[in-house]
């Protein structure tokens, strides 16, 4: 998916994105401190920040979803999910939670934090099969 590279590049421009690698039994959560522009080499993208990096083969990405999901009980999280051929989660880029302040304390909705997700969602949903989704079994009234 060529659009996957474009989207990963755009996500790395926001140093507040939390990168979650994997989606099964083990995941790695990584902040964007010191994140660099992704590099492409022989079909693999390398995303690197101050103290971590990952490689992902673009051919392994078969689906992209913008997701609004319940999290931590009564809050919502907003992220982009990159999935593989068996619908497994390969990678997620979480936007800053609009219900948390800079110290990760609960607060009232901060519309400016939600704007980044909504703007990118409006730009990409509908292109090359990219969809807006809610996890199975989650009914969210927005």
In a domain, 139, yes or no: no
In a domain, 41, yes or no: yes
Q: Residue 63: which of 48, 39, 84, 36 has the closest Cα?
A: 84
In a domain, 38, yes or no: yes
In a domain, 141, yes or no: no
In a domain, 140, yes or no: no
Whether pTM exceeds 0.85? yes
How many domains is the chain partitioned into structurally?
A: 1
Q: Which domain holds residue 28?
A: 2-133
In a domain, 138, yes or no: no
In a domain, 87, yes or no: yes
Pairing type for strands 28-30 and 18-21 reads antiparallel
Q: Read off the pLDDT of residues 49-83 as tens digits, 9 standing for 90 and up.
A: 999 999 999 999 999 999 999 887 788 999 999 99
In a domain, 15, yes or no: yes
Q: Read off the pLDDT of residues 128-138 as tens digits, 9 standing for 90 and up.
A: 999 999 877 66
CATH no. for residue 39?
3.40.1570.20
């Amino acid at each position: 998916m060529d659009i996957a590279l474009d989207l990963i590049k755009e996500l790395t421009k926001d140093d507040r994105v939390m990168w979650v690698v994997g989606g099964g039994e083990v995941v790695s959560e990584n902040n964007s401190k010191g994140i660099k522009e992704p590099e492409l080499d022989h079909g693999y993208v390398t995303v690197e920040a101050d103290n971590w990096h990952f490689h992902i083969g673009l051919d392994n990405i078969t689906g992209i979803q913008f997701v609004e999901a319940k999290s931590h009980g009564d809050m919502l999280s907003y992220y982009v999910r990159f999935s593989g051929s068996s619908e497994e989660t390969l990678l997620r880029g979480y936007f800053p939670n609009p219900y948390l302040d800079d110290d990760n304390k609960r607060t009232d909705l901060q519309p400016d934090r939600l704007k980044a997700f909504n703007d990118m969602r409006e730009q990409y949903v509908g292109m090359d099969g990219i969809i807006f989704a809610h996890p199975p079994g989650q009914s969210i009234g927005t």
